[in-house]
A = this chain, B = another copy of it.
């Protein structure tokens, strides 16, 4: 309930249009809408008018289809579905106009919007095995209306591959640095860039990578400034945050 709504309600009370009891009920029953600053469901609502997100893991294909349809029926233009299995894509695609990006396990309904951010978001990966996470990040950022530059397979053991993209790194508004194994990519990019770097450790690796723990710890200990970290394999979270930062200029 916005300030003006409270005022309106109180004026109605004053004028006698609304009884005191009824007003008590309204103020009591919806106490949190009045807070104004609570978002209905963070993971679901990206940016009003642009896209809704469905986290597909642990949902049946039918559940995903029905939620998607409900969102579209409710006037939503676009739907982003993350962690979507091929099976789910088949079921949803049979009923709705779905673009399924298999690599990133991402489904999109309503297409990707035109970029309207302040600049571009760079998505960089250490190796090709990190691509599923990278695509989840990239498509999330694109659904948030960001221009995305993909720099894949630029791991630190072959520095020249990364250095060859100095231009893109320098001109980015936000960079998502994705790497498994030793996770050194975040530090190296952090040292080259002067925008926020969001590091995503991946579970790529074996042995002492311990499911991404090595990369996670490495990234948390980055000696470069401007680097922060999200959960292992959390491409969505990184893409979302990078997109948010890329729109800071217009807030």
Q: Which positions in A face B, CB cutoff 8 Å?
A: 3, 6-7, 10-11, 13-14, 16, 20-21, 23-24, 27-28, 31-43, 57-58, 118-119, 126-129, 155-160, 163-164, 166-167, 169-170, 173, 180-184, 186-188, 190-196, 198, 201, 203-234, 237-238, 240-241, 244-245, 248-251
- Across the A-B interface, the 5 shortest Cβ-Cβ residue pairs: A207-B232, A184-B184, A214-B217, A228-B228, A157-B191
Q: Which residues of B contact A230 (CB under 8 A)?
A: 220, 227-229
Cα-based distance from A43 to B129 in the complex (angstroms)? 14
Min CB–CB distance A42 → chain B (angstroms): 5
Min CB–CB distance A66 → chain B (angstroms): 14
Q: Which residues of B contact A196 (CB under 8 A)?
A: 196, 241, 244-245, 248
What number of copies of this chain does the assembly contain? 8
Partner of A42, one of B42, B157, B164, B166: B157
Cα-based distance from A129 to B214 in the complex (angstroms)? 22
29 chain-A/chain-B pairs, Cβ below 8 angstroms: A6-B24, A7-B24, A10-B10, A10-B23, A37-B193, A38-B160, A40-B160, A43-B224, A43-B225, A58-B129, A126-B223, A156-B184, A157-B190, A158-B191, A159-B163, A182-B183, A182-B219, A188-B188, A201-B207, A206-B233, A207-B211, A207-B220, A216-B220, A217-B218, A227-B230, A227-B241, A228-B237, A245-B245, A249-B249
